[in-house]
Structure 1
Amino acid sequence: MAGLTLSSGPPASGKGTLCKRLAENHNLYHLSAGDYLRYLINGPLADQADIVDAVRSGGTRGLVRGDVIVSLLIEKIKEETGKGKSAFLLDGFPRNLEQDKAFRESMRSEFNIDTPDLTISISCPKEVARARYLGRKRGDDSEDLFNNRYSNYQDRDMQVVELYRKSLIEVKADGSLGIDQSYLEIIKTLSREPAWTNLTSNEQREIA
């Protein structure tokens, strides 16, 4: 593995969309923990009721044991590494200290690394995130669920963000900007960071 980037952000901050675009444009493998778990429970792990129920009830927010999620993600990273992928953008994980501990231990064992090259934290004012969350009208989205998820992010995810403070790059999700302009602002911020430049330059060289 040549590089690892972690990303975090509150619900409806635009993190998933922005990270997917970052990965596509810079030849990183985008691995969304939440999306991957949902794929697994609707396919390969559909017969494992305990994991299915836990993911549907909260997934990476803490209801699936950290070591279980980590083992699934590590196996996916190993699979993609075997296909030639070397730089990964892990989106939305780890989300609490238990997951972080298990993830570091497994990364050290499998890849001899236990810290990311950089961590991207996308910040978004609560009122902006709430409007986006309720405006997308998806599934069982509600104001109560948003408030619970936002609170969980502040209480749990931010503890993990603080662990990676030295490698942290904070970018802001401005509610007045469209996704294209937000992406340009993120690229402008990242382009000033040596870790990002080194990561993407290395990946480009390997592809060439």
Structure 2
Amino acid sequence: MAAKPFIIFVLGPPASGKGTLCKRLAEDHNLYHLSAGDYLRYLINGPLADQPDIVDAVRSGGTRGLVRGDVIVSLLIEKIKEEMSKGTSVFLLDGFPRNLEQDKAFREAMSAEFKSDTPDLTISISCPKEVARARYLNRKRGDDSEDLFNERYSNYLERDTQVVELYRKGLIEVKADGSLSIDQSYLKMIETLSREPAWTNLISNKQK
């Protein structure tokens, strides 16, 4: 098992293409795609179904802030340790952290658990509200609605962008402005990553 995990934060508004881009990046480079929201939903429908406080918090807002940062972090750290025991060393954290509290709790936990200064890379996907809204409503998932989109996008602007600003120095920015297809956005992301020493060293080491 690797001494410590390589952590990549992937941030962006709802329906900006985070999940799609993360899945493709993970498949192409043998990385582990860990969607915080999807993982929490999996837990409350299985392993944590008997813990009503967590179940209610996740169903009411999940990673957007209603579950305490330390609770989310403890769950993610355990998942990271589990996957590391299987040989995984690089993790794409999709949609996490959502606020400064979660970021602080995660960095403190990583330092205590792995003596690791986290994150190793931060990717921010920017997407205009009108483009994100159209994608959000077109996907017709669960209880998606225009009101819920507006709430989630507002939450992103109020909280998530504080995390983006925290990592502004060295931030890897990917634009999804509607003029580019997902394939084109992905190629732009790879092009930008290829100029980052931390990424090129990572890929070089994985190929040895």
Give the TM interval when normalised to the shorter protein. Answer: over 0.9
1:2, 1:100 → 2: CA distance? 16
Shift of 1:137: 1.6
Q: Deviations over 1:5-44 (max 9, x none)?
A: 1100000001111011101111111111011101111111
2:59 counterpart (56, 59, 66): 56
Q: Partner of 1:174: helix, strand, or coil?
A: coil
User: In the alignment, is residue 29 of structure 1 matched against residue 27 of structure 2?
Assistant: no
* Structure-2 residue corresponding to 1:65: 68
TM alignment of 1:91-110, pairs within 5 A = 91-110=94-113
Q: Which runs of 5+ in 1 are unaligned?
A: none
TM alignment of 1:89-128, pairs within 5 A = 89-128=92-131
2:194 counterpart (179, 185, 191): 191
User: In the alignment, is residue 129 of structure 1 matched against residue 136 of structure 2?
Assistant: no
Q: Is the 8 A contact 1:86 1:203 kept in 2?
A: no
Q: Which runs of 5+ in 2 are unaligned?
A: none
Q: Partner of 1:7: helix, strand, or coil?
A: strand
Identity %: 84
Q: Is the 8 A contact 2:5 2:84 kept in 1?
A: no
* More displaced stretch, 119-128 vs 138-147: 138-147
Q: Is the 8 A contact 1:174 1:182 kept in 2?
A: no
* Structure-1 residue corresponding to 2:162: 159
Q: Partner of 1:107: helix, strand, or coil?
A: helix
User: In the alignment, is residue 4 of structure 1 matched against residue 33 of structure 2?
Assistant: no
CA 1:136–1:34 in 2, change beyond 3 Å: closer, same or farther? same
Superposed CA RMSD in Å reads: 1.2
2:91 counterpart (84, 88, 92): 88
1:13, 1:179 → 2: CA distance? 10
Shift of 1:47: 1.0
TM-score (norm 2): 0.94
Shift of 1:176: 2.9
Q: Partner of 1:166: helix, strand, or coil?
A: coil
Q: Is the 8 A contact 1:27 1:204 kept in 2?
A: no
Q: Deviations over 1:141-167 (max 9, x none)?
A: 111111111111111011111111223
* More displaced stretch, 71-80 vs 155-164: 155-164
Shift of 1:102: 0.8
1:169, 1:96 → 2: CA distance? 18
Shift of 1:96: 0.7
Q: Partner of 2:178: helix, strand, or coil?
A: coil
Q: Write the letter of the residue equivalent to 2:58.
A: V
* Structure-2 residue corresponding to 1:14: 17
Shift of 1:87: 1.3
CA 1:60–1:2 in 2, change beyond 3 Å: closer, same or farther? closer
Shift of 1:203: 2.5
Q: Deviations over 1:101-136 (max 9, x none)?
A: 110110000111132111000000111001111111
